Amino acid sequence: MPNGVEPVSAHTWPPARAAVSNTSRAPRNRSPGGVFIGCVPWGKVRNFAARFLPHASILTHRSSRLLHITEIHVTPIAVGDPPLRNAAGLHAPYALRTIVELVSDEGVSGISEIPGSDATTGVLREAAEVVVGRDPYALNGLEQALRQRFGEDAGDRRGQKPWDQRQLVHMFSALEVACLDMVGRATGRPVVDLLGGRARDRVDFSAYLFLKHEGAGGPLAFGTEDSASGWAAARQAEALDPAGVVAQAQAMCDAFGFRSIKLKGGALDPEIEVESMHALQRAFGDDVPLRFDPNAVWSVDTAIKWGKQLEGVLEYYEDPARGQAGMAQVREAVDIPLATNMCTTSFDDLPGSVRLGSEDIILSDHHYWGGLRASIELGRFCRSFGLGLSMHSNSHVGISLAAMTHLAAAVPNLTYAVDTHYPWQSDEVIVGGKLRFEEGALAVPEGPGLGVELDRDALARLHQNYLDCGLSKRDDEVEMQKVEPGWAFQSTRW
């Protein structure tokens, strides 16, 4: 792989095959790859398709035989991230991501992105023996093989901290997206078409605000770039009170055109965070939907007390308390729709959600729920049970954002604008630089597959960041101790 980034590769496909002979009848109308098309010669079908049919690459692409994966490249990267606060502490100067690239025997590639760590890199590299040689269309078989290899329950349990992941679900989501990107490239179709086609051409996103310390992140850490202006300046400014939050929101909405706003809370005293929401309403008016996420560190009593003061202010109230039972109590007492990305995060959680009535809205996330197809299934569930649907975000670059956009475009009942951390990341790993929002929305990327390409030079540079930054996993608690020595995560703080 270029630029010194070492892949995990295998070149043992295809295995040797015994010769097969059939002399009982002549092979009529067989294509060079062994494909029969009724009694019409394959060449005539191909020529007709190329001349008259749209998307003719489906028929004329050289892969008239099955694709097989011959290589997997796993590249951890680190992208600059400002000192953003949340319930679990503070973002490190770098957010860790893992880029996965699959390559087929026909030279067709597929890419994906997930949150990174040494453990994530290791398990994906270990998965190479399962992945190499497989058909990228056969995703059910791949998932079953991974479960057999790593154990049915391997990593299916999620911890209490917001970033804790189910390792097996996480790994499969990365491989599934890369396979779908490969299939899309091979057939000339965008991933949204592989998910059932477009329900919309553009996807609305929401401004995602954070309480934060001064600092630009990356090599500057808590330092700032004096020449920065506009959003670049606001991105590095302190926002630890209502005035700072409003200034951050105004700069982000001016830069990206977002028409709804969310604040990540659970970091400061509830009174400061609730007043920040009132300040946002005063600044933007009643027509801009507002969301607030205490990150599940408030007690039920605290969530009810402050939730009542937010009635008439919020579009939805995200994870004010921990667990489905706690959320159900808050939902019963407060007249605001409740949303979650923390108490209902897997299909195993859905029966409890329905039984207890723990939320009105589920925030999907293909990284958490096991891929794009699983997220489509979640959308159908929400439609059947009358639940709203939106989408959670994590610190990401353009590959994940492209996948999120294809998914959101394919879900008919996506009822709320989608979360994204994307404005907070200044680094990018795709050709052409950062994807561009227009009036707070992204058009579905053009081109086959995800519609984005790896920038090899950027990949090498960000991989070097990973090697140099000294981080092997995300730990916001340790980062917070740099600001407040002795600080410790508490699952319920207020």
Active site residues: 264, 392
CB atoms within 10 A of CB 235: 23
Q: Report DSSP state, residue 311.
A: T
Instruction: Enumerate the β-bridge partners of residue 373.
Output: none
Residue 99 forms beta bridges with which residues? 75, 113
Cα Rg of the chain (Å, integer)? 24
Taking the C-alpha atoms of residue 254 and residue 268, their distance in angstroms, rounded to an integer, is 26
Cα four-point dihedral sign 235, 253, 96, 159:
positive
Q: Are 454 and 432 in contact (CB under 8 A)?
A: no
CB-based contact 454:429 (threshold 8 Å): yes
Cα separation of 396 and 420, whole Å?
8
* Distance in angstroms (rounded) separating the CA atoms of residues 364 and 263: 18
Pick left, alpha or beta for residue 299 (phi over 0 → left; psi -120 to 50 → alpha; otherwise beta). beta
**Which of 269, 378, 379, 361 is closest to 316 using CA atoms?**
361
Q: Rounding to the nearest 10 degrees, give the CA dihedral for residues 121, 126, 131, 132.
A: 110
Q: How far is the C-alpha of 310 from the C-alpha of 151, rounded, in Å?
A: 45
From 490, 161, 489, 494, select the one nearest 298 (Cα to Cα). 494
